[in-house]
Amino acid sequence: MGNDSLIHREESRKLRIININKTFTGGSQNLAALSNVSIKINEGDFVCILGPSGCGKTTLLRCIAGLERADSGEIMLGENPVRGPGPDRIVVFQDFDQLLPWKTVKENVAFPLKVNKKAPEKEIRDTVKQNLALVGLEEFEDYYPHQLSGGMKQRAAIARALTIHPKVLLMDEPFASVDSQTRTSLQNELIKIWEKFHPTIVFITHNIEEAVILGNRIAVMSSRPGTIKKVIPNELPRPRTVGSAGFSERWNELNNLLVSN
């Protein structure tokens, strides 16, 4: 493959959210969740979306996933408008109970590969093993979801999302429920995966520190109705830790943006 086609391919995979609005109509009252949200995300970019609870982060992610339809505006993945859900945009939901209860952990993680017939049996088994090891669940591969803790379920869901190497990975506060040590190691693993496969990642969090550690860019949302207040490039050198040079400045900058609602 020549250089030209590579560049072309990258451009054609750009994720563009163009001026979308979303209002939930629940009975008598309408609830504006998103208002004129626009953001362009290059292929392979790692964008964190930071915002207070209830500001519409999940709604935005569900619109990108095609699980929710925006009232107006357009979401484009490359040249194609997003019309519905699909395996090119894999979601890690905020919900604990996103594993299929009738499948073991192993079967859950293998499921996307099986459905999409991406690989022969043996290869699927290897990928599943690797991904389970990545999230520290290899000992629990034969457990059923109801036998796992909330954080373990979430880790299994992450392993499942990673198995088919989606072009776009949509993650909704995936590490919110794990202890800080596990969180740090999962963050490191996610960065490794991103550096290796360069999926486009949209990562929702309301943890400023997490946003600074992970994101290439950080989009700060205002409270309801959600708008994108500012997108900050975050080019601190990796690996980043709380003590890295520039970390606290970035943290303060984001914190100020968040509180100045």
Ligand X SMILES: Nc1ncnc2c1ncn2[C@@H]1O[C@H](COP(=O)(O)OP(=O)(O)OP(=O)(O)O)[C@@H](O)[C@H]1O
| Span of 41-49, 95-103, 178-186, 200-208 interacting with another protein by CB under 8 A | 95-103
**What is residue 46's DSSP assignment?**
E
Residue 255 binds ligand X, judged by CB under 6 A: no
Q: Is 179 exposed, middle or buried (0-12, 13-18, 19+ CB in 10 A)?
A: exposed
Binding partner of 55, given another protein, Mg ion, ligand X, none, CB within 5-8 angstroms per partner class: ligand X
Q: How far is the CB of 132 from another protein (least distance, A)?
A: 17
Residue 90 binds another protein, judged by CB under 8 A: yes
Q: Which amino acid is at 216?
A: N
- Rounded Cα gap, residues 31 and 23, in angstroms: 5
For the stretch 125-132, contacts whose Cβ atoms lie closer than 8 Å and that sit 24 or more positions apart, written own/partner, are: 127/163, 128/159, 128/163, 131/159, 131/160, 131/162, 131/163, 132/105, 132/106, 132/156, 132/159
Please pick, from the candidates 55, 105, 158, 164, the single residue that binds ligand X as defined by CB under 6 A: 55
Q: Which amino acid is at 124?
A: I
Residue 146 binds another protein, judged by CB under 8 A: yes
Q: How far is the CB of 178 from another protein (least distance, A)?
A: 20
Please pick, from the candidates 22, 57, 89, 224, the single residue that binds another protein as defined by CB under 8 A: 89
Residue length, the chain? 261
| Span of 47-55, 125-133, 140-148, 209-217 interacting with ligand X by CB under 6 A | 47-55
Please pick, from the candidates 2, 26, 101, 243, the single residue that binds ligand X as defined by CB under 6 A: 26
Q: Could you give the C-alpha distances from 29 to 25, 73, 127, 222, 223, in angstroms and in order?
A: 6, 22, 47, 21, 18
x/- track of binding to ligand X for residues 70-109 (CB under 6 A): ------------------------x---------------
Residue 49 binds ligand X, judged by CB under 6 A: no
Residue 58 binds ligand X, judged by CB under 6 A: yes
Nearest to 57 by CA among 261, 167, 256, 219: 219
Q: Which residues bind another protein (CB under 8 A)?
A: 65, 67, 84-87, 89-91, 93, 95, 97-98, 100-102, 111-112, 115-116, 144-147, 164
